[in-house]
A = this chain, B = another copy of it.
Amino acid sequence: MPQDSLLGPVHKAVPEGDNRERLVCRDCGFIHYQNPKVVIGAIVTWQDKFLLCRRAIEPRRGYWTMPAGYLELNEGSEAGAKREAWEEARAAIAIDGLLAIYDVPRLSQVQIIYRAHLTEPDFAPGEESLDVKLFAWDDIPWSALAFPSVHWALHHHRDSVASGDFSARGRVG
């Protein structure tokens, strides 16, 4: 495979019939249409506790997160949230509703976060996790959370339960 960094869809050009610059390959003509990515995840509870995973991979290895990851092709968003809970925490979850949508335009990312609960209190670290635990609110490792959206989602969850207002929250991060 050639190592020349000018190969591949790395040249900016406006394709015919389009109105924005895209990355094109001058060699094979491929146009690389880039789109925002969808992250799906869930705040998962068991009784009054919250399921968090300690990341085994970068970025933020060693920090705690809710089960979440990129939506795959031909996958629904609830199905994706269940898959991530299984992959990261070997947890079977049931979806209770939509918690929030977080926009991170800087990263071209839309996060769709559900409220969910464990269907039974069984879990274990998946390949991408060092550890998985249930935390009471006051025991959550706030200073060791992996991403701002983990903070937002935990607090939005608490607000929803406290107020009884389960309309979806939004935030631009």
Residues of A within 8 A of B (CB): 1-2, 7-9, 20, 25-30, 32, 34-38, 70-79, 97-98, 101, 103, 105-106, 108, 110, 112, 166-168, 170, 172
Distance in angstroms between the alpha carbons of A91 and B26 in the assembled complex: 39
- A-B interface, 3 closest residue pairs, ranked by CB to CB distance from nearest: A7-B28, A76-B103, A8-B30
List 14 additional contacts besides A38-B38, A75-B105; criterion CB under 8 Å: A2-B27, A7-B29, A7-B30, A8-B30, A25-B25, A30-B32, A35-B35, A73-B108, A74-B106, A77-B110, A78-B103, A79-B103, A97-B168, A98-B168
**The one of B28, B74, B97, B166 that contacts A25, using a Cβ cutoff of 8 Å:** B28
The reply to whether B2 and A30 form a contact with Cβ atoms under 8 Å apart is no
Pairs across A and B, CB under 8 Å, 27 listed? A1-B27, A1-B28, A1-B29, A2-B28, A2-B29, A7-B27, A7-B28, A8-B30, A20-B72, A25-B25, A25-B28, A25-B30, A32-B32, A34-B73, A36-B73, A38-B38, A38-B110, A75-B108, A76-B105, A78-B170, A79-B103, A97-B167, A97-B168, A101-B101, A110-B112, A167-B167, A168-B168
Copies of this chain present in the complex amount to 2
Report B-chain residues with C-beta under 8 Å of the C-beta of A72. 20, 35-36
The reply to whether A8 and B36 form a contact with Cβ atoms under 8 Å apart is no
The reply to whether A71 and B168 form a contact with Cβ atoms under 8 Å apart is no
The reply to whether A110 and B71 form a contact with Cβ atoms under 8 Å apart is yes
Distance in angstroms between the alpha carbons of A76 and B72 in the assembled complex: 20
